[in-house]
Structures are given as structure tokens and as C-alpha cells.
Amino acid sequence: MAFSDIRLEQKQAALQDLKGIKELFASRNWFPGTSGNLSVRVGDFNPEQFYFAVTASGKDKSVHTPEDYLFVDQNGVPCEATGLKPSAETLIHCEIYRKTGCGAIFHVHTIDNNLISDWYGEQGYVPAQGIELIKAFNIWEEDAAIRIPILPNYAEIPRIAELVPDAIDPAVPGILLRNHGIYAWGNNAFEAKKHLEAFEFIFEYSYRRLLLNAARLHSAQ
Ligand SMILES: CSCCC(=O)C(=O)COP(=O)(O)O
Ligand SMILES: [Zn+2]
């Protein structure tokens, strides 16, 4: 399928989804200092050829402008003539789409995801068990345990992108970059948002639990 075969309404719907999510996440301060990026896929999925709308690089994501998004292909190359640069992290989106066939990917930097990814960075995953929000990932087993993968935060994005396919756990729709942020995805923007919110809940919970455990140890001394 060529990009020009995709219906205009579908492209506009993707841009509307991105606009709504961007506004909501900005209101939560989830894009400090222009950080973060968002994408929504359009058209049929073929791992060798697909297209998605992605945020332009370096923009203030708390405001709306006509230059906020562009469409790129499976290699992160713009589909139309534009002066806009796709997100510097577009290659990571490309690898997540290629591997999962998902419909939307959201990346945010928060204090909680940075702290927890650094705390567990050496072991390469954040352990989470028995937290109700794990059900947001469609895991319904009692006392379910998951591992949220953490990748090193190399300066060169292609070095990170090449690690992505092997790091993805099909049951866990997210990957952390150590001391950087999280990528969460889903079949569509609604699901990707739900997953991202569940991850952020788990990170805040885990961080606070570590503090409480440390306080308990301290008070027992
Ligand atoms: C200013 S934060 C450093 C870059 C980054 O991690 C990020 O998420 C934003 O990069 P983009 O090119 O998508 O604006
Ligand atoms: Zn980032």
C-alpha cells in the first residue's frame, strides 16, 4: 500500500488523536523541556511497509501549531515534502511498530519512570507483582508478576533501536530507557494511553514502596 492510497479521513483521525493526547499529557507535565514524542499508525500493517504520524522534533508540546506532526514510513523517512524533522527517536517507534504491529506509541519522561529505571537499571527490568493495574495489560491472573524491560540510554538512537526487537516482551506493552523515559504502545491511541497510565502508576507505586521499605528498615534499627 502506498501512502497516497491511505484515505485522508484516516490521516486526519490520526492527527486528531495525537492532538488530544498531546494536550492531555502536556496538562500532566509529561513533556518537560520539549521531551517526549507520540505517534499513531495509519493504513494497513505490513512489517516491510507501513506509515505513521509522529511529532516533529524539538517542539514545545504544550502548544498546538500547524507544524506539530508529519507522516513517515517504516524507516522514519517523511512521506511528503516537508521542512519538519521527525522526532529524533523515530527509529525506536519504527522498531516497535515493526515488531508488534501496534497502532500507537507514546513516549514520556517523568520523574518516576526515570528514578525507577535507574534503580533497576543494572538488572535490566523493573519487577512488578500483585499490583491491580497490571490488569490494564490484559493480564488477569491473581498476583501476576511482570518484568518491564530497561534498555541502556545510548547517545546514538540507532544503537538503542537495534536492541528494541529482542527486548520486547509480547505480554508487556512498554520499554524503559534508563534514566530517560518510557515507550508504551497499544492497538490504538486509547489502548496506548491506558497502558502508559498503568506503567506510570506502577512506577510511582514501586518508588514509594521502596521508600517505605527503607523507612521500615531504618525504624527497626
Ligand atoms: C529534550 S529531551 C531529549 C530528547 C528526547 O529524549 C525526547 O524525547 C524528545 O525528542 P524529540 O526529537 O522527539 O523532540
Ligand atoms: Zn525521550
How does pLDDT run along the chain (221 residues), one tens digit per residue? 999 999 999 999 999 999 999 999 999 999 999 999 999 999 999 999 999 999 999 999 999 999 999 999 999 999 999 999 999 999 999 999 999 999 999 999 999 999 999 999 999 999 999 999 999 999 999 999 999 999 999 999 999 999 999 999 999 999 999 999 999 999 999 999 999 999 999 999 999 999 999 999 999 98
Looking at residue 221, what is its pLDDT? 86
Return the SS3 of 7: coil
Q: Is 0.95 topped by the overall pTM?
A: yes
Ligand 2 centroid distance, CA of 95 (Å): 15
Name the nearest CA neighbour of 106 among 25, 156, 31, 38.
38
How do strand 174-177 and strand 145-151 relate by DSSP bridges? Answer: parallel
Query: CB under 6 Å to ligand 1: residues?
Result: 33-37, 55, 57-58, 87-89, 107
Report the 3 state secondary structure along 145-156.
Answer: EEEEEEECCCCC
CB 103 within 8 A of CB 17: no
Across the beta sheet with 125-129, the strand order is 69-73, 49-55, 37-46, 104-108, 181-186, 174-177, 145-151, 125-129
∠ CA 114-57-63, nearest 5°, is 85
> Could you tell me if 40 and 53 are in contact, meaning their C-beta atoms sit under 8 angstroms apart?
yes
What's the topology of domain 3-215?
L-fuculose-1-phosphate Aldolase (3.40.225)
Ligand 1 pocket test, pick from 25, 35, 94, 109 with the greatest ligand atom count within 8 Å of Cβ, gives: 35
Domain spans in the chain, listed from the N-terminal domain onward: 3-215
Which ipTM was obtained for this model? 0.99
Grid cell, residue 35, equals: 521531551
d(CA 46, CA 98) in angstroms, rounded, equals 8
Q: Is residue 109 part of an annotated ligand binding site?
A: yes
d(CA 160, CA 107): 14
Location of C-alpha cell 501476576: 144
Contact 55, 38 (CB under 8 A): yes
